[in-house]
Amino acid sequence: MKLRFAPSPTGYIHIGNARTLLVNWLYAQKHGAEFILRFDDTDRERSRDEYAQQIIQDMAWLNLDYKEVVKQSDRYDLYRHAAEGLKESGRLYPCFETKEELDFKRKRQLSQGKPPLYDRAALKLTPEEIDHFMKEGRTPHWRFKLADELIEWVDLCHGPISFQGANLSDPIVIRENGDPIFTFSGAFDDMDLGITHIIRGNDHLANTAIQIQMISALGGNPKSITFGHTPLITGAQGEGLSKREGSLSIKDLKEEGFEALAIENYLAHMGISEEFHLSLTLEKLVQDFEITKLGKSSPKFLYEDLARTNMRLLHQRSFEDVQGEIQELGLHNITADIWYAVRENLNFIQDIKHISHICFEDITPVIMDAKFCQLAADKLPVEPWTEETWSAWTNALKEETGRKGKELFMPLRQALTAQEHGPEMKKLLPIIGYERAKKRLLYHDA
């Protein structure tokens, strides 16, 4: 078995591309298959090396590995040779319509209530007409002639799928400049590289029907390939996601502080109706993955749901898992005890920087009641402190003052942390320590 992720390096990977990547990778891992990265970079105008490099970096950050990298831009000679064979067999034919002429034909068909299929006018051109166009300086693009026959396959996600060749439009497969379009180069590569499973979005269903005929015309066996088409992710309002607009790119989500595993958990469970059980490792995600569980309707990406998944993951991650990330933040004073004391108050890993600041650095305390804080400072227990210290201390203050509830606790929290909310004080107090606690309780604004 062999699968591929085949992005076009014309923009950053957005959340929709990432789901296709993840589904392919999980399926390959689940079945012990080979997995490769193929750059479909035949669009020379829009393909950029910076995007290709970012895709490689994104995959490394997501911990999704691959056996090799293939670039279509390195395989032009293979495509030219294959195209010549199709020209000789009559399956590729030259067309000279301009973009404007094709747009006019398409609009006229739509206005007449007809599907916008190419009318095969180019097949009626005489040698003299072709010669005339060439003398005018027109360079042809080339279309693949579809056979009028039933095209069918059993889809991994949809079950039996069928198209009638006559209901599809002959696709342009070679541009005027001689460059192949992905419909052709992708079909050739899938055959030539021995790809056995192709999993991609529902927007490729018609392309699959075309490529099945193309692989046959190239001498391959399309029945050796298993296809699967997943629903496309939409935005919260049902809108499409565009990588060229940088919509929800993996790069941006990383920079915002999302955990790679949180993104993968969220994407792996989108569209699945059963209860969402968080996987704390990629291995567990692979173990639980079943492509047949993916729903048939388009799932909506909700930023707040991803944020909630990120929070849930952080609340369960061990110190060993996050230690490297914490050190990358320049925090070398965060120990395992501190992590377990505060992790349930984190939304993003970088939130621990704020907690570190509160615990170890100078802050400006909020003194609500100076007299009460003075008393609290006098009543501070001697160290060493444990989680029981907070209760013993506040109980003593309660006995002394008669205060209780918010009246008792809020002045202490604000003096010690300058915050109204945060981790439990019984956990924070031992981290802050006696000296800092006393200094903050006795703080006077100059």
For 205-264, the pLDDT digits (tens) are 999 999 999 999 999 999 999 999 999 998 877 777 664 445 589 999 999 999 999 999
Q: For the sheet containing 172-174, what is the strand order?
A: 92-95, 141-144, 172-174
Planar angle of CA 139, 141, 147, nearest 5 degrees: 145
In this prediction, residue 55 has a pLDDT band, given cuts at 50, 70 and 90, of: very high
What's residue 239's pLDDT?
77
pLDDT digits (tens, 9 = 90+) for 142-168: 999 999 999 999 999 999 999 999 999
The number of CA neighbours under 13 Å toward the Cβ of 48 is 10
CB 3 within 8 A of CB 28: yes
What's residue 12's pLDDT?
93
Q: Which residues contact residue 241 at a Cβ distance below 8 angstroms, ignoring those fewer than 6 apart?
A: 14, 15, 16, 233, 234, 235, 247, 248, 301
What's residue 241's pLDDT?
67
In this prediction, residue 271 has a pLDDT band, given cuts at 50, 70 and 90, of: confident
Give the type of residue at 360: F
What's residue 245's pLDDT?
46
Domains along the chain with CATH numbers: 1-93+140-316 (3.40.50.620), 97-132 (no CATH), 322-360 (no CATH), 370-441 (1.10.10.350)
pLDDT digits (tens, 9 = 90+) for 419-428: 999 899 999 9
The alpha carbon of residue 314 and the mean position of all alpha carbons in its chain are separated, in whole angstroms, by: 19
The predicted model gives 329-338 an average pLDDT of 92
Rounded (to 5) percent helix, strand, coil in the chain: 50, 10, 35
Task: Look up the pTM and report it.
Answer: 0.90
The 10 Å Cβ neighbour count of residue 43 is 16
* Mean predicted lDDT score pLDDT of the chain: 93
The 10 Å Cβ neighbour count of residue 255 is 9
Give the type of residue at 70: V
DSSP 160-223: EEEEEGGGSPPPEEE-TTSPBPHHHHHHHHHHHTT--EEEEEGGGHHHHHHHHHHHHHTT--GG
Q: Provide, rounded to the nearest whole percent, the portion of the chain with pLDDT above 70.
A: 98
Q: Is 287 helix (H, G, I), strand (E, B) or coil?
A: helix
Q: Which of 95-104, 235-244, 378-387, 418-427 has the lowest mean pLDDT?
A: 235-244
